[in-house]
A and B are shown apart, each in its own frame.
Chain A
Amino acid sequence: MYSKKVMDHFMNPRNMGEIPDADGVGTVGNPVCGDLMSVYIKVKDNRLEDVKFKTFGCGAAIATSSMITELAKGKTIEDALEITRKDVADSLDGLPPVKMHCSNLAADALHAAIEDYRKKKEAEK
């Protein structure tokens, strides 16, 4: 069973949607595994000014995506990279063991979005 926090983020996801002019996009998972999530970031002065997500997956996948946007928003790039899968699960008061691997990809998606942002910046130079 899901914790109250997981249910809340599943039923009322925060920051859901795309950022059309995102500075970085990270997509992880795949439809085969059943969970696919994209995290979009907008960066200003080395801070994550906006973070949004879109997810295909179970309740836990949606809740972790929603939670990562709350955890990352306003943080510096460096601090955001420090956010781990465990942080996400802990902030949601835990996840069922079976969901810890497949559905807890949000931190990876955020890191991938930052990676994408850095690559783009690198290319601009």
Chain B
Amino acid sequence: MRKVYMDYAAGMPLDPRVFKAMKPYFTENYGNPSSAHSFGANAKNALMKSRERVACLVGAEKPEEVIFTSGGTESNNLAIKGVAYRNKEKGNHIITTTIEHMSVINICKHLQKQGFEISYLPVGKEGMVDPERVKDEIHDKTVMISVLYANGEIGTIQSIEEIGRIAHESQVYFHVDAVAAAGKIPINVDGEHIDLLSVSSNDMYGPKGVGALYIRKGTRIQPVIQGGGQERGVRSGTENIPGIVGMGRAAEIAKEEMAAEGKRLSQLRDKLIMGVLETIERSYLNGHPTQVSSGSACTSKTLEPSHVLLAIGLAHEEAHGSLVFTMGKQNSEEDVDYVLETLPGVVKRLRAISPLTPKEMLR
């Protein structure tokens, strides 16, 4: 049986060029960037270069505005808790949406228990947040708006620039979870008025266990992890140099190849969507047909239906009957053809087994 991997949103292979860049930092250049000797200087230099590369990917003006973390989840924790705690005297209200990544949702729930007020804005059928709703929700106690750039399950890309402008005009911090978007679509933190932006390395063919948070200069934030004062005191702990070097290289490659790879994947995606809709009776697309990583989802980790699919108005059985396909670098047109050949039979079989299938569909 042929094996086809179409779960890139969950995990993806390391780019061999990234692996190559990382290798010397495990065994040869093992210095600590905080050390004053040449080993330390070597590591510090590598750290600086990676910072520049990540800054360049997200359009940050100054590399110092990029802080390395252990991944997207930590970046979200630092951004939301760090700003909420530091600006307590200013207000306790945070605006977010119902289709955020679980890390954002659970951080907000945690803050709620501590007396913060959280607004979870609903989304439309295609998963879009209405910027006007965001504007209406702002009041004098609002300190932050947190919205995800692109949703990894339904592919919807939010009107970030518009929401950013609203946040900017209201002088409210704007955090964007860009884990699913970074490296796939162009991001410009300045043009989009973003104050904090979470990115993850393993969502752009880099190593797992590394991420970054862009923090606009002047943002009032307090650390979540205290210690030796690394990363300008915002994120202590000896820097994961091999991982950071990998993320830097991954960011560099992503920036170079984004346009061409995006075009290639869009074609494969459209072929897959059209093929499924044509060959499978009563199939439909969750989310937005014209955007990045379309598909839909089933969360097999928890058995719970996807909160994102419920948020866009699907019934529980529809959410459970959904399937997500996320493609990436190693997928070819042959993979799509194979899925299109095989999937109708699989769906037919499962429908025959299901007691929910209407009788007239089982001729």
Is the beta-carbon distance between A56 and B300 smaller than 8 angstroms? no
Partner of B317, one of A37, A54, A56: A56
Is the beta-carbon distance between B353 and A102 smaller than 8 angstroms? no
| A98 CA / B304 CA spacing, docked (Å) | 11
Chain B positions 314-361 with a Cβ under 8 Å from a chain A Cβ: 315-317, 320-321, 352-356
Name the CB-closest residue of B to A37: B355
Known: A31-B316, A31-B317, A34-B316. A54 touches B303 (CB 8 A): no
Say which size band chain B's interface belongs to. Answer: 10 to 19
A103 interface hit (Cβ, 8 Å): yes
| A16 CA / B362 CA spacing, docked (Å) | 14
Chain B positions 260-308 with a Cβ under 8 Å from a chain A Cβ: 300-305
Partner of A38, one of B305, B317, B321, B355: B355
Most chain A beta-carbon contacts within 10 A, residue among B302, B305, B355? B355
A62 interface hit (Cβ, 8 Å): yes
Is the beta-carbon distance between B315 and A31 smaller than 8 angstroms? yes
| A55 CA / B303 CA spacing, docked (Å) | 16
How many A-B residue contacts, CB cutoff 8 Å?
Answer: 46
Known: A32-B316, A34-B320. A58 touches B300 (CB 8 A): yes
Is the beta-carbon distance between A54 and B320 smaller than 8 angstroms? no
Q: Residues of B contacting A58 with CB < 8 Å?
A: 300, 303
Nearest-Cβ distance from residue A96 to partner chain B, whole angstroms: 10
| A37 CA / B354 CA spacing, docked (Å) | 8
Known: A56-B317, A58-B300. A34 touches B354 (CB 8 A): no
Name the CB-closest residue of B to A30: B316
Is the beta-carbon distance between B303 and A36 smaller than 8 angstroms? no
Nearest-Cβ distance from residue B132 to partner chain A, whole angstroms: 33
Name the CB-closest residue of B to A62: B353
Binary CB contact string for chain A from 1 to 23 against chain B (1 if under 8 A, 0 otherwise): 00000000000010010000000
| A31 CA / B320 CA spacing, docked (Å) | 8
Is the beta-carbon distance between B353 and A55 smaller than 8 angstroms? yes
A33 interface hit (Cβ, 8 Å): yes
Partner of B303, one of A31, A34, A56, A62: A34
Nearest-Cβ distance from residue B79 to partner chain A, whole angstroms: 30
| A99 CA / B305 CA spacing, docked (Å) | 14
Q: Residues of B contacting A56 with CB < 8 Å?
A: 317, 320-321, 353-356
Q: Residues of B contacting A102 with CB < 8 Å?
A: 303
Is the beta-carbon distance between A54 and B354 smaller than 8 angstroms? yes
A64 interface hit (Cβ, 8 Å): no
Q: Residues of B contacting A69 with CB < 8 Å?
A: none
Name the CB-closest residue of B to A101: B303
Known: A58-B300, A98-B303, A102-B303. A31 touches B356 (CB 8 A): yes
Q: Residues of B contacting A62 with CB < 8 Å?
A: 353
Name the CB-closest residue of A to B356: A56
| A55 CA / B350 CA spacing, docked (Å) | 9
Q: Residues of B contacting A27 with CB < 8 Å?
A: 355
Name the CB-closest residue of B to A16: B353
Known: A32-B316, A56-B317, A103-B303. A13 touches B356 (CB 8 A): no
Q: Residues of A contacting B300 with CB < 8 Å?
A: 58
Nearest-Cβ distance from residue A24 to partner chain B, whole angstroms: 15
Binary CB contact string for chain A from 83 to 125 against chain B (1 if under 8 A, 0 otherwise): 0000000000000001100110000000000000000000000
Chain B positions 185-210 with a Cβ under 8 Å from a chain A Cβ: none
Binary CB contact string for chain A from 29 to 49 against chain B (1 if under 8 A, 0 otherwise): 001111011100000000000
Binary CB contact string for chain A from 44 to 71 against chain B (1 if under 8 A, 0 otherwise): 0000000000111110001000000000
Nearest-Cβ distance from residue A19 to partner chain B, whole angstroms: 13
| A99 CA / B300 CA spacing, docked (Å) | 10
| A56 CA / B317 CA spacing, docked (Å) | 9
| A45 CA / B48 CA spacing, docked (Å) | 81
Q: Residues of B contacting A103 with CB < 8 Å?
A: 303
Q: Residues of B contacting A57 with CB < 8 Å?
A: 320
Known: A27-B355, A57-B320; 17 extra A-B contacts, CB below 8 A, are A13-B353, A16-B352, A16-B353, A31-B320, A33-B303, A34-B305, A36-B355, A36-B356, A54-B355, A55-B354, A56-B317, A56-B320, A56-B353, A56-B355, A56-B356, A58-B303, A102-B303
11 of the cross-chain contacts (CB-CB < 8 Å) are: A31-B315, A33-B303, A36-B356, A55-B353, A55-B355, A56-B355, A57-B320, A58-B300, A62-B353, A98-B302, A99-B303
Seen from chain B, the residues whose Cβ lies within 8 Å of a Cβ on chain A are 300-305, 315-317, 320-321, 352-356
By Cβ-Cβ distance, the 4 closest A-B pairs, closest first, are A31-B317, A54-B355, A56-B354, A34-B320
